[in-house]
Amino acid sequence: MRVLLACCLWLSVFAPPAHAAQVERIEPANWWVGMRHDRVELLVHGKGIAAATPRLSHAGVAIVDVQKTDNPNYLFVTLEIAGDAKPGGFEIAFAEAGKVVATHPWRLDAREPGSAQRHGFDAGDAIYLVTPDRFADGDPSNDSVPGMREAANRANPNGRHGGDLAGIRRHLDYIAGMGFTQLWPTPFLENDQPGYSYHGYAITDLYRTDPRMGSNQDVRALARAAKAKGIGLIMDVVLNHIGSQHWWMRDPPARDWINHGGRFAPTNHRRTAIQDPHAAPADRQAFVEGWFVDAMPDLNQRNPHLARYLIQNTLWWIEYAGLSGIREDTFGYADTQFLSDWAKAVLDEYPDFAMVGEEWSINPAVVAHWQRGKANPDGHVPHMPSMMDFPLNLSLRTALAQADGWNGGVEGGWMPLYEMLANDFLYPDPGRLVVFAENHDSSRLLADLDGDLGLWKVGMAYIATIRGTPQFYYGSEVLLRGPKQRDDGLLRADMPGGWAGDRADAFTGAGLDARQRDAQDYIRALYQWRKRTPLLHAGKLMHFAPADDVYVYFRYDERRSVMVALNKHAQARTLALDRFDRFLRGRSARDALTGKPVALGESLRLPGKSATLLEIE
């Protein structure tokens, strides 16, 4: 009887009450001592958790704010972390009526030395873009994972093929050997969607690597292994939307967490509405708040808790994984003020960090609106250091694919590219833009040019030698082509040699045909030369109006220069050199890729469909 009474007394004092609050997750699960961002708002999720009061006991850490939303299953708990706080783990307790009903572990870590001073990518770098699912399968055991909605099916162009972080890590020597110094994988976070999940842009957990790609620890290991080989890791961040199977969609943290109340309403894609002084407010709203597709719910970054969550998530991944840069997806589609706040928060923490935003517009004025230092008439203050140079990308493809117009008109030949580059006066810092011939969302340049290898080399030479940071898409060095009309599953084809039993192997060269070997050798020589040539990183740029299918420009400083002469005509051209006396008179030259001397007389012969690259001394 006494034992039974004692048990009842213990239960009355320590047992949680009926229907007590629960804790299912806390995000982020840790932070670091010494961060400038030292007030961390924790998202706490669990049934009925809003009825509980959080408590903790750890030297240097204090709870300074607790907020609720209209959903009783969430608390937002702000911790203040003192500069002298000690790293270590501790419990956060949650109490009701004075009784602890739930606990959850949390942790403070020490930062890596020099973390805040990390240097991001710049014009001295060259970026290699990969779609991880299609690059290499380093661990076949995780191709399909029990409990996840989509299994591997390599026969399906739009399915998962099994590429992973282990596959990328296995081929870091190849990437470095090709001359690339930065690695940009498309998103590798969890995409537990029922189909079409391989691309990574429908994220279902912002703090978890997709198990079919690897683990969070594998991301950090990849970054460290890449750094040891002179390669930085760029993370593809998505702030605008999530996947429809994200756990938030089963229990949204607040009614206004997802735009349009969680119901699909498509975006109008009217990106000019942001800057347009005449735009109807409804058009701006439809652009920012509309969804891409019903599988990608659009986030409402005007909710302050969501805004802090997304900012902290970005800071967490930079610190955790040791990133050297961020590529931000669908940049202009998110709330305008939030984008400014987000980028500023990142640069406040990491002043020399690198970020590039995707604004898919052919209008340089639209792209320039988002770059740091731009004085915008509407008062928007941007903090993004770099943007993807879509205007130059589209102009290059147009110029290569069409014949010269009459009288050198803008409607033909090199003139669209020449005149687009002239718009650099719109950008605060055009040298920070990321330039590219193709990416994971476009047809490949080779397809656009109907397989013309000569013109393809011309385009690739342009990207490697013009101002800005070049980005190259995996597999093009071995002439992956895909269809001319965009078909994502086919243009994001498997890298030859990334899977056991492949007939050809891009990494070893086995099974490649003569054209593939030629293309690969060309890209390797081009980017290794770029890597060791500072003029292509920081040299000034002067271009000359195109004539007779030839476009000439120079990268130069006070003593030396690099001459680039692009001939897009099928026939050889004789280029008179008197026009370039400023750079050539009394100088010697050598072929940049072979090192062979080149005579500089009155003229220079340019082979048909070729890029002539000369070092002038």
Q: What sign has the CA pseudo-torsion 335, 337, 341, 347? A: positive
Burial, 534: exposed, middle or buried (Cβ in 10 Å; 0-12, 13-18, 19+)? middle
- Roughly how many angstroms between the first and final C-alpha of the chain, as a whole number? 101
* Distance from chain centroid for Cα 374: 22
For 469-527, give the secondary structure using H, E and C: EEEEECCHHHCCCCCCCCCHHHHCCCCCCCCCCCCCCCCCCCCCCHHHHHHHHHHHHHH
Q: Please provide the DSSP assignment of 273-306 as one string.
A: GGT-TT--HHHHHHHHHSBSSTTSPBB-TTSHHH
The catalytic residues are 329, 358
Q: What sign has the CA pseudo-torsion 85, 87, 88, 90? A: positive
Contact status, residue 565 vs residue 589, Cβ threshold 8 Å: no
For residue 188, which of 141, 144, 134, 251 has the smallest C-alpha distance? 134
SS3 549: coil
Alpha-carbon distance of 583 to 596, in angstroms, equals 19
For residue 504, which of 480, 482, 487 has the smallest C-alpha distance? 480
For 229-266, give the secondary structure using H, E and C: CCCEEEEEEECCECCCCCHHHHCCCCCCCEHHHHCCCE
Contact status, residue 211 vs residue 144, Cβ threshold 8 Å: no
Residue 56 phi, psi dihedral angles, 5° rounding:
-155, 160
Alpha-carbon distance of 182 to 432, in angstroms, equals 15
